[in-house]
């Protein structure tokens, strides 16, 4: 099994030592390869464009990230893997110093030895993405009770031994009339005589 490490995201490496003072711009793409490195993340797939504006000052780099795109994650409510939008910006400061950082230092301030020449910003991009994703992934349509991301729940309910007829399930999912009281209905159905699986419309 191949293992993926940060250095494999070499396109995120900035040879800052050789940069002239002033502003520099970079563009990155956060796609599947990125998540092979950050494999503990709740995301596995994304199509996120990253714009980085870097200002090089004496002993300091100012990094300004603007991220925009989409990612896929499992809806925490219905478990369906679905697409979410993301738009997030964040600033980091990188101090070039040999002085040890203080314990309660600002998390947005990083320290790098002046002897370093390359900064890989993949971890900073990762942190910025985490700032832009919700604690719970809930597809908007799921919250509203419309049908889009409820297919999997329907499948799970079916697999659970309840006798929902295929035809009925089809009409339920295609008309966009998903009853938000699903679990209540399921409980109700358990008490119904076998064969009587008519779902309230
Ligand atoms: Zn959902």
User: Where are the domains positioned within the chain?
Assistant: 6-139, 150-190
User: Could you tell me the distance, in angstroms and rounded to a whole number, from the CA of residue 76 to the centre of ligand 1?
Assistant: 7
* Range in 94-103, 139-148, 151-160 with the lowest mean pLDDT: 151-160
User: Could you tell me the distance, in angstroms and rounded to a whole number, from the CA of residue 168 to the centre of ligand 1?
Assistant: 20
Question: What's the pLDDT band for 9 if we cut at 50, 70, 90?
Answer: confident
Q: Which residue has the higher pLDDT, 177 or 113?
A: 113
> Which positions ≥6 away from 80 have C-beta within 8 Å?
74, 139, 142, 149, 150, 151, 152, 153
> Which positions ≥6 away from 111 have C-beta within 8 Å?
94, 95, 97, 99, 100, 101
Tokens of 51: 């714009």
User: Could you tell me the distance, in angstroms and rounded to a whole number, from the CA of residue 130 to the centre of ligand 1?
Assistant: 20
Does residue 161 have a pLDDT over 60?
A: no
CA quadruple 167, 170, 172, 175: dihedral, nearest 10 = -120
Which candidate, 9, 49, 57, places its Cα nearest to that of 33? Answer: 9
User: Could you tell me the distance, in angstroms and rounded to a whole number, from the CA of residue 60 to the centre of ligand 1?
Assistant: 44
User: Could you tell me the distance, in angstroms and rounded to a whole number, from the CA of residue 112 to the centre of ligand 1?
Assistant: 43
How far lies 24's CA from each of 21, 54, 59, 63, 172, in Å?
Answer: 9, 5, 16, 10, 54
Tokens of 152: 């999997």
Does residue 83 have a pLDDT over 70?
A: yes
First to last CA, the chain: 50
pLDDT at site 154: 54
Mean pLDDT over residues 180-194, rounded?
50
User: Could you tell me the distance, in angstroms and rounded to a whole number, from the CA of residue 153 to the centre of ligand 1?
Assistant: 9
Place of tokens 């002993």: 59
CB of 6 within 8 A of CB of 123? yes
Does residue 190 have a pLDDT over 80?
A: no
User: Could you tell me the distance, in angstroms and rounded to a whole number, from the CA of residue 178 to the centre of ligand 1?
Assistant: 12
Rounded CA separation 23/65 (Å): 13
């Amino acid at each position: 099994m191949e293992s993926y490490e940060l250095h494999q995201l070499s396109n995120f490496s900035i040879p800052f030592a050789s940069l002239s003072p002033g502003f520099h711009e970079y563009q990155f793409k956060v796609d599947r390869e990125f998540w092979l490195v950050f494999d503990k993340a709740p995301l596995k797939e994304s199509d996120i464009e990253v714009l980085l504006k870097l200002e090089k000052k004496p002993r300091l780099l100012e990094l300004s990230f603007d991220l925009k795109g989409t990612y896929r994650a499992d809806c925490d409510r219905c478990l369906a893997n679905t697409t979410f939008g993301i738009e997030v910006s964040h600033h980091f400061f990188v101090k070039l110093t040999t002085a040890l950082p203080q314990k309660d230092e600002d998390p947005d301030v990083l320290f790098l030895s002046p002897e370093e020449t390359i900064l890989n910003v993949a971890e900073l991009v990762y942190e910025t993405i985490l700032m832009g994703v919700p604690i719970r992934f809930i597809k908007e349509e799921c919250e509203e009770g419309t049908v889009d991301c409820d297919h999997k729940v329907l499948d799970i309910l079916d697999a659970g031994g309840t006798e929902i007829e295929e035809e009925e399930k089809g009409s339920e999912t295609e008309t966009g009339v998903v009853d938000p009281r699903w679990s209540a209905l399921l409980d109700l159905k358990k008490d119904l005589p076998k064969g009587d699986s008519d779902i309230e419309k």
